[in-house]
Amino acid sequence: MKSFLQISIMVIFFIFNQFHVAAAEIQQLPLKSEAAALLDSDTGAVLYSKNANQKMYPASLTKIATAIYAIEKGQLDRIVTVSGNAVRQDGTRVYLNEGEKVPLKMLLQGMLVNSGNDAAVAIAESIDGSVPQFAENLNNYLRAKIGVTHTHFTNPSGLFDANHYTTAMDMALITNYAIKNPIFKEIFGTKVLPWKGQSWQTNIVTHHKMLRGEFLYPEVTGGKTGYTSETKQTLATTADNGKIRLTAVVLKSNLKNDKYIDTTVLLDYGFKNFQHTVIKKGEVFTTAERKEFSPENDMLITERIGGCLKNVADNGLLSILDNKGQLVQTVQLTYKEPPKPKVAAIETPKKDNQKQEEEEIILINSIVIMMVVLLAIALKLRIKGQREY
The CATH code of the domain that includes 95 is 3.40.710.10
Q: Is residue 368 part of a domain?
A: no
Sheet holding 245-253, edge to edge: 46-50, 35-40, 245-253, 232-240, 220-228
Is residue 243 in some structural domain?
yes
Asked whether residue 325 falls in the same domain as residue 250, the answer is no
Q: Please indicate whether residue 130 is annotated as part of the active site.
A: no
Query: Following CA atoms 49, 54, 57, 59 in sequence, which dihedral angle do they give, to the nearest 10 degrees?
Result: 20
Same domain flag for 201 and 311: no
The answer as to whether 27 is a domain residue is no
Res 21: pLDDT:
32
Whether residues 205 and 101 share a domain: the answer is yes
Residue 115 annotated to the active site: yes
Residue 1 CB partners (closer than 8 Å, separation 6+): none
Mean pLDDT (the chain) is 87
Average pLDDT over residues 15-37: 62
Mark whether 172 and 297 lie in a shared domain: no
- Of the three residues 229, 258, 274, the one that is the final residue of a domain is 274
- On whether residue 24 sits in a domain, the answer given is no
pLDDT at residue number 325: 79
Number of domains into which the chain is organized: 2
The single residue of 33, 41, 49, 60 carrying the catalytic annotation is 60
Query: Which of these is catalytic: 50, 63, 209, 224?
Result: 63
Residue at 193 is within a domain: yes
Q: Give the pLDDT mean for 172-180.
A: 98
Residue 52 CA to residue 250 CA, distance in Å, equals 9
pLDDT band at 10 (very low <50, low <70, confident <90, very high): very low
pLDDT in tens, 205-229: 999 999 999 999 999 999 999 999 9
Residue 252 lies in a domain: yes
User: pLDDT tens digits, residue range 282-340?
Assistant: 899 998 888 889 898 999 999 998 878 888 998 989 998 877 777 888 889 998 777 66
Classify residue 325 as left (phi > 0), alpha (psi -120 to 50) or beta: left
Question: Are 178 and 238 part of one and the same domain?
Answer: yes
| pLDDT of res. 14 | 37
Sign, Cα dihedral of 73, 78, 84, 87: positive
Q: Is the pLDDT of residue 341 over 90?
A: no
Catalytic pick among 41, 49, 83, 115: 115
* pTM confidence score: 0.79
Instruction: Specify whether 229 is catalytic.
Output: no
Residue 363: predicted pLDDT: 74
Q: What is the pLDDT of residues 355-387, one digit of tens each?
A: 667 777 777 777 767 776 677 776 676 656 555
What is the full DSSP assignment across 225-264? EEEETTTEEEEEEEEE-SS-EEEEEEEEESSHHHHHHHHH
Same domain for 185 and 52: yes
Kindly state whether residues 327 and 291 are assigned to the same domain. yes
- Domain end residue (candidates: 241, 274, 307): 274
Same-domain status, 79 and 201: yes
Give yes or no: residues 215 and 324 share one domain.
Answer: no
Q: Does a structural domain hold residue 349? A: no
CB 42 within 8 A of CB 245: yes
Last residue of a domain, one of 216, 247, 274: 274
Q: Where are the alpha helices (DSSP H) in the chain?
A: 2-26, 62-73, 84-87, 104-113, 117-128, 131-141, 168-178, 182-188, 256-273, 353-388
Say whether both 39 and 171 belong to one domain.
yes
Residue 168 near residue 54, CB atoms below 8 Å: yes
185 and 204 housed in the same domain: yes
Q: Region 264-271: what's the mean pLDDT?
A: 98
Structural domain harbouring 313? 280-341
Do 287 and 214 fall into the same domain?
no
Asked if the structure places residue 356 within a domain, the reply is no
Per-residue pLDDT tens over the stretch 42-70: 999 999 999 999 999 999 999 999 999 99
Please give the share of the chain, as a percent, with pLDDT higher than 90.
Answer: 69
